[in-house]
Amino acid sequence: MNHITDIKGGFTLNNGVKMPYFGLGVYLSKEGQEVINAVKWALEEGYRHIDTAAIYENEAGVGEGIRESGVPREEVFLVSKVWNSDQGYDSAIKAFEASLERLGTDYLDLYLIHWPVKGKYRETWRALETLYNEKRVKAIGVSNFLSHHLEDLLDQASIVPMVNQMEFHPYLVQKDLLGFCKEKDIQYEAWSPLMQGNVFEVELLKELAKKYQKSIAQIVLRWDLQKGVITIPKSSKRNRIAENASIFDFSLSEDDISRLDKLDRHQRFGPDPDTFDF
């Protein structure tokens, strides 16, 4: 994976769609000017992948940012997610339509089930399959699905999810889940790659930042990509958006990648998909 040298590059999903391996997450970016600016700055820096969700309540601003950027819609890989209270067949389709309307677009590049709501995610997946078959979305996937959720879904799905977006960082590698997704050809994607800011306290990362003359954030994001994991660091600050993107001019050695892998301690900074209160 040392050949990752272009911010606009991507990994090919199991249906042949190319998904940019680096993007901007807009969780916690406020609706209105804050998120509009973040999206415009990211697109100016060369980002071509924007990840939002209905629950973030900033889809309208994301759509506005894309339009104001002057980058053609078809060049932007746009992702949103169906929230837990909208799960179920009919309600997921309605939620998708509402997201499109807020974003001001007539299709999405990727639509995800945000969390595996027990007793509902199978029906929700059926809705996503319908949207995919109707060509209203180019790829469909899930978020926060552990192996047992995926096995249950695959048991009745007619389409294998193209993506699984998970909490992923040096303290939560989930090697078995990574392996399971690889085996099923489900692309892994990281949310919270910077451990909600906690990466800055990790000694090994401080050491590697010095060694490679890069920031701690840049080391972690590069590690993601070299592990074949799509990453979407979130920020609404212009300098941070630019800094996060400056990871295509160096590579981590295999040895340093495995040292980072060994930091794994199964520690979450976000909710646990098995105990999350839906």
- What are the φ and ψ backbone dihedral angles of 256, each rounded to 5 degrees? -70, -35
Tokens of 270: 């976000």
Mean pLDDT of 235-248: 97
Homologous superfamily (CATH) of 10-261 is NADP-dependent oxidoreductase domain (3.20.20.100)
What does the domain layout of the chain look like in residue ranges?
A: 10-261
CA distance 226 to 220: 10
Name the strand (E) or helix (H) holding 165: strand 163-167
pLDDT of residue 39: 98
Enumerate the β-bridge partners of residue 164.
Answer: 142, 188
CA-based Rg of the chain, rounded to a whole angstrom?
18
Q: Is the pLDDT of residue 2 over 80?
A: no
CA distance 234 to 24: 6
> Strand, coil or helix: what is 212?
helix
> Strand, coil or helix: what is 163?
strand
Which of the following is catalytic: 21, 27, 47, 56? 56
CA distance 130 to 135: 9
Confidence of residue 277 (pLDDT cuts 50, 70, 90): confident
Mean pLDDT of 156-177: 97
CB of 223 within 8 A of CB of 252?
yes
What is Dmax (Cα atoms) for the chain? Answer: 53
pLDDT of residue 25: 97
CA distance 195 to 169: 6
Chain segment 167-197, per-residue pLDDT in tens:
999 999 999 999 999 999 999 999 999 999 9
Enumerate the β-bridge partners of residue 140.
Answer: 111
CA distance 153 to 116: 10
pLDDT of residue 3: 79
CB of 140 within 8 A of CB of 193?
no
CB of 95 within 8 A of CB of 82?
yes
pLDDT of residue 1: 65
CA distance 183 to 246: 31
pLDDT of residue 56: 97
Chain segment 97-144, per-residue pLDDT in tens:
999 999 999 999 999 999 999 999 999 999 999 999 999 999 999 999
Mean pLDDT (the chain, rounded)? 97
pLDDT of residue 152: 98
Residue pointed to by tokens 């209270």: 85
Tokens of 195: 């451990």
Chain segment 53-91, per-residue pLDDT in tens:
999 999 999 999 999 999 999 999 999 999 999 999 999
pLDDT of residue 53: 98
pLDDT of residue 278: 74
- The closest alpha carbon to 45, from 244, 232, 219, belongs to 244
Mean pLDDT of 146-166: 98
| Known active-site residue 111 | no
Please enumerate in sequence order all residues whose Cβ is within 8 A of that of 221, keeping only pairs 6 or more positions apart, or say none.
22, 193, 231, 233, 244, 247
Torsion, CA 71, CA 75, CA 47, CA 115, rounded to 10: 120
Q: Is the pLDDT of residue 96 over 90?
A: yes
CB of 226 within 8 A of CB of 252?
yes
